[in-house]
Amino acid sequence: MESGSPHQDATIVVVGSGVAGVSAAQRLTAAGFRHVRVLEATARSGGRIRTGALGNNIVEIGANWIHGPSEENPVFCLARQYGLLDPEALTPENQAMDVEGHPPWVPSFYTSSGCKLDAELVLPVQMTFLEILDESSSHEGKGEPVPSVGKFIRSKATDKWREADAATRSLGFSIINNMLKVECCVNGTHSMDEVGLGAYGLYKTFPGLDCTFPKGYEGLIKNLVSELPSDSVTYNYPVRCIEWNDTEAKSPVIVECEDGQRITADHVIVTVSLGYLKKKHSTMFRPPLPLHKQLSIQRQGFGTNNKIFVEFDSAWWDADCEVIHFLWEDENAMTDQVSDVQSSWMKKLFGFTVLKPTERYGHILCGWIAGHESEYMETLSDHEVTQAITQLIRRFTGNPVLTPKRVLRSQWFRDPWTCGSYSFPGIGCSSQDLENLGEPVPTTGSQPLQLLFAGEATHACFYSTVHGALLSGQREADRLISHYSIISTSPVLSKL
């Protein structure tokens, strides 16, 4: 676009400075837009990318990995450009490894009676589960034999163990239940019964073995923000309501902030979480969003996945162990929910991943827990969580004196600006719903593209990921760049 073209004077407000909002603003300013302002409700940029500390160690309260660190992944490419990754993450071998969303971690298995199981007993059942999970990804557009992924898995798994003896079936159930809880964390859902079977296969992966940021994921955000003009982001500035116009009459979009200030704009890019949209869309937009967009907001799922970091003075797990699974032997039915959330919430925690390398992190485990049990955990005191986790670890290891040095947990559900962790395709959800979530309004008329929508939940196949959020922000920036490119080359305007 040439200097002096109409885009330079367009006023654009970006709501939210997570990776979607920051990447949109960065793309627009690089293209020459001079009036781009980011409004952030909190005191920091990053959104669900949030790096914290446990003692002297860096831990990720939010986003943890670059999923599929390879040339196709823009987060990987940016992290490499900014010099934020370990050398091993940059090797061709690491980029070429295609794990399809399930990294080949070295596992250990403990039972609720305090025994460590031989992995050879468990791995065949896990492989069967993963085969069924893979099969559940193949129903998009083909009709659904059952509505949810959970029901599909249970029906297939029941068939597999129908002829097995009681002991084999009992072990199989405890392993399947554990894997269902793993998938609840992966999908950010309370139960796999809430994940729609038809849309489950929409999610796509990149090749590459998942990697982390040695100095924290927030380094990515800080680098992106540093490329914006210094006064671009206004912090502690929540938006109350956005007034747009669905008639032919031309008028600016009005962004009303919590302090009463009203900001006029030509375009507003909304990057709030789907969880926030679910709670606030009816009051956030005036007039209301089109009905089809509201229905898609309802149909797309959004849940909670929390972490509980536990530090020890020394490791009680094997030196090569990368993930620890806890198998409950008293679960005699296939389920990924607990019967009494208040007394048994910790049964939803599938186990721990081991923070590696030890030289960097010391002896820290990261526990994973999703769903309503996870949300209940957020209401407890630090002391109550520490007590429950200590008892859980002592029970499964059979070591009655194991005591954590420190415990730190995330609390994403009670965060008022996120209301959970990330999105998943709900029951009845389709690719059209994902398209609707990312659709701007209005698309035609005298003043199109007043409201644009970005964020992980608006990406057609990379929802729930940082790269999906980043790509969605760039997508909406490119939409405006293209819009003004068309205007600046219009025969009518060229004569003015």
Q: What ranges do the domains of the chain cover?
A: 6-49+214-301+419-494, 102-204+305-409
Euclidean distance between CA atoms 405 and 392, whole angstroms = 15
Specify which of 236-250, 276-290, 474-488 reaches the highest per-range mean pLDDT: 276-290
Tell me the C-alpha to C-alpha distance, in Å, between residue 130 and each of 178, 209, 366, 424: 12, 18, 23, 19
What is the pLDDT, as a whole number, of residue 104? 87
What is the pLDDT, as a whole number, of residue 489? 56
Q: What is the CATH number of domain 102-204+305-409?
A: 3.90.660.10
Mean pLDDT taken over the chain = 93
- Answer whether residue 353 shows pLDDT above 60: yes
For residues 158-171, give the mean pLDDT. 81
Q: How confident is the model at residue 488 (pLDDT cuts 50, 70, 90)?
A: low
- Answer whether residue 92 shows pLDDT above 80: yes
What is the pLDDT, as a whole number, of residue 247? 80
**Helical H segments across 398-430, by residue range:** none
**Residue in 236, 234, 218 with CA at minimum distance from that of residue 61:** 218
What is the pLDDT, as a whole number, of residue 106? 94
**Residue in 196, 214, 206, 203 with CA at minimum distance from that of residue 152:** 196
Q: Look at 103-107, 164-168, 380-384, 472-476 and tell me which has the smallest mean pLDDT.
A: 164-168
- Answer whether residue 161 shows pLDDT above 80: no
Residue, of 93 and 169, whose pLDDT is higher: 93
Q: Look at 20-29, 218-227, 450-459, 480-489 and tell me which has the smallest mean pLDDT.
A: 480-489
For residues 411-415, give the mean pLDDT. 98
- Answer whether residue 174 shows pLDDT above 70: yes
**What residues form DSSP beta bridges with 77?**
none
Tokens 């559900």, located at residue: 413
Euclidean distance between CA atoms 179 and 136, whole angstroms = 14
For residues 84-88, give the mean pLDDT. 95
Please name the fold of domain 6-49+214-301+419-494: FAD/NAD(P)-binding domain (3.50.50)
Taking the whole predicted model, whether its pTM rises above 0.75 is answered as yes
